[in-house]
Structure formats: structure tokens, C-alpha cells
């Protein structure tokens, strides 16, 4: 008879590693897309010039999807959140309407990521972003936040 214990350590064993042909995401795919990351100085200067919309598009275009370095991702995330929070709620709708589908998807990823690290008043602001981005991207863009392997 197996002994009933309250230990749950066995649940954390990665049994898949013992399977010789277990599924791995193709590495070649990852190297195909060149690693990019947003230029902090450029974005900061765009914000200070009042061109927050350009700063946002710049940050979304250069989102560091393909890098594995958590520091670069963290830095890009902080920077993008800074841009998002610097934009007044009244301007959000107009800016969102100028983004293409791909940028909306990336924006949605940053919005959800932003909910994970709330700062004072940030979540309320991000909810406004979420509402406007959802109005354009629909349920599809939320689904893509959940399914895409490339995280921000």
C-alpha cells in the first residue's frame, strides 16, 4: 500500500524531462527574428517633447520579444509603462485608433503585464487603456496575449 503523506513535493517533479522525445519549441524559429529593444533615451526625449504617441509606437515596434535576457525585458516593460502612464486618459482613444493590429496585440500584452506590477494609480489608468484597446482588438487580442509564446 502506498503511504498517504501530506507531502506535495512530488508534484513539482518535472516528469517530462525523462521523456526522451518531449516537445521543445523550435530554436531556429527564435533566431530568425532579430532581437530588438526600445531606445530609452529616444523615448524619454519624445515624452518630454510631448510626443507621447510617437514614443508609444516606437516602444511597441521595438518590443524585445526574441531576447531571453530578463533584464532587457524588464527595462522595456518599465519604459513602456512609463509611456502608457504619461498619456492622458482623454488622448488614449485617439492614439489607439492609429495603431495597427500587431501593435494593438503588443499593447495588450504590456497592459496585462502592467497589471502584474501595480504602482500608485497605475491599474486604474491601465484599465482605461484596456477598454480602448479591447474596443479595437476585440477578444482576439486578449486570446493572443494568452497564447503567444513570445512574452513582453
Partner 1 sequence: MVEKYSFGIDPIPYHAWNNNKQQIAVTPNNQEIRIYQQERNVNDWTLRDILNKHDLRVTGIDWAPKTNRIVTCSEDRDAYVWKQGSDKKWTPTQVLLRINRAATCVKWSPDENKFAAGSGARIISVCYFEQANDWWVSKHIKKPIKSTVNSIDWHPNNVLLAAGCCDFKVKIFSGFIKEIEENFPITAWGNKGNTLGNVLCEFTNSPYIGGWIHCVSFSNDGNRLCWVAHDSSISVADVSHGSPVVFKLRTDTLPFLSCLWINHNAIVAAGHGCCPMLYSVDANNQIRLVCKLDRSQKKEGSGLSAMRKFQSLDRQAKIDNDTMLETIHQNSIKSIQIYSSINSTATKLSTTGLDGQLVIWNLNVNVY
Q: Which is nearer to partner 1, 9 or 25 (CB)?
A: 25
The number of angstroms, rounded, from the C-alpha of 22 to the middle of its chain's C-alpha atoms is: 27
Angle at 138 between CA 136 and CA 142, to 5 degrees: 115
144 binds partner 1 (CB under 8 A): yes
State in angstroms the smallest separation of the CB of 28 from partner 1: 10
Q: Is 141 in the site for partner 1 (CB under 8 A)?
A: yes
CB of 104 to partner 1, least distance (A): 9
Q: Grid coordinates in use for 142?
A: 486578449
Report the residue count for the chain.
Answer: 152
3-state DSSP helix/strand/coil % of the chain, to nearest 5: 65, 0, 35
Q: Work out the number of other CB atoms within 10 angstroms of the CB of residue 90.
A: 8
Q: Among 1, 2, 15, 32, indicate the residue that binds partner 1 (CB under 8 A).
A: 32
41 near partner 1, judged by CB under 8 A: no
Does 123 contact partner 1 by CB under 8 A? no
| C-beta closer to partner 1: residue 81 or 141 | 141
User: Judged by CB under 8 A, does residue 23 bind partner 1?
Assistant: yes
Torsional sign, CA 79, 80, 81, 85: positive
Binding site for partner 1 (CB under 8 A): 21, 23-26, 29, 32-33, 65, 101-102, 105, 136-141, 143-144, 147-150
Amino acid at each position: 500500500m502506498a503511504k498517504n503523506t501530506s507531502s506535495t513535493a512530488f508534484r513539482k517533479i518535472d516528469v517530462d524531462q525523462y521523456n526522451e522525445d518531449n516537445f521543445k519549441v523550435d530554436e531556429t524559429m527564435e533566431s530568425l527574428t532579430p532581437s530588438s529593444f526600445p531606445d530609452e533615451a529616444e523615448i524619454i526625449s519624445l515624452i518630454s517633447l510631448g510626443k507621447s504617441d510617437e514614443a508609444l509606437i516606437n516602444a511597441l515596434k521595438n518590443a524585445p520579444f526574441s531576447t531571453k535576457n530578463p533584464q532587457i525585458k524588464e527595462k522595456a516593460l518599465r519604459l513602456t509603462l512609463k509611456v502608457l502612464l504619461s498619456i492622458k486618459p482623454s488622448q488614449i482613444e485617439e492614439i489607439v485608433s492609429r495603431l495597427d493590429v500587431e501593435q494593438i496585440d503588443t499593447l495588450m500584452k504590456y497592459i496585462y503585464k502592467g497589471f502584474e506590477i501595480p504602482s500608485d494609480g497605475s491599474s486604474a489608468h491601465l484599465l482605461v487603456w484596456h477598454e480602448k484597446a479591447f474596443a479595437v482588438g476585440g477578444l482576439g487580442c486578449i486570446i493572443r496575449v494568452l497564447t503567444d509564446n513570445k512574452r513582453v
